[in-house]
Amino acid sequence: MFVKTIRILTKQYVELDVITPQVEAIVAESGVRNGMVTVMTKHTTTGITVNEALECLESDIEVALSLFAPEDRPYSHARMLKDYGSTAGNPTGHLKALLTGNHCHFLIQDGEIVRGGAQDVYFCEYDGPASRNILVMVEGQ
């Protein structure tokens, strides 16, 4: 298995970043002609999702997620965490991460990722700004 990490310094509290070009570059670097690629975030207040890369949809997604997990609710997660020695102020990030999940898969045929014309891979930040790591795993021959 060929594994690489994409590192991102996010700049906003919530942001959606298209990472398709980085994933394609790692697939090409792997030399795998036929197989599968998995893109997986290493964090619990982020997501990986596949959608159409349009500004209007990005706005709608952010609004829909904020309706699902509004900032001003009395969340149980708002408390000091002894394991961290710091306050947990990111319940909305954890909840938004539920909806987008932590990974996606694509087939690889003839060295290319097989994806629909409207499909792009998004890294979703829900508790930024932060330093983030995304694993890209390429399997096959």
All residues at 6 or more sequence positions from 7 whose CB lies less than 8 Å from its CB, including other chains: 131, 132, 133, 134
Q: Is the peptide bond before 129 cis (omega within 30 degrees of 0)?
A: yes
Q: Output 11 or 105, the one with its CB closest to another protein.
A: 11
Residue 134 near residue 82, CB atoms below 8 Å: no
Q: Output 74 or 116, the one with its CB closest to another protein.
A: 74
115: left (phi over 0), alpha (psi -120 to 50) or beta: beta
Q: Output 120 or 125, the one with its CB closest to another protein.
A: 125
Q: Output 31 or 89, the one with its CB closest to another protein.
A: 89
Residues binding another protein (CB under 8 A): 9-13, 72, 74-75, 78-80, 83-87, 89, 128-131
Alpha-carbon span 45 to 70, nearest angstrom: 15
Q: Nearest distance from residue 85's CB to another protein, in Å?
A: 4
Q: Nearest distance from residue 108's CB to another protein, in Å?
A: 32
Q: Nearest distance from residue 39's CB to another protein, in Å?
A: 21
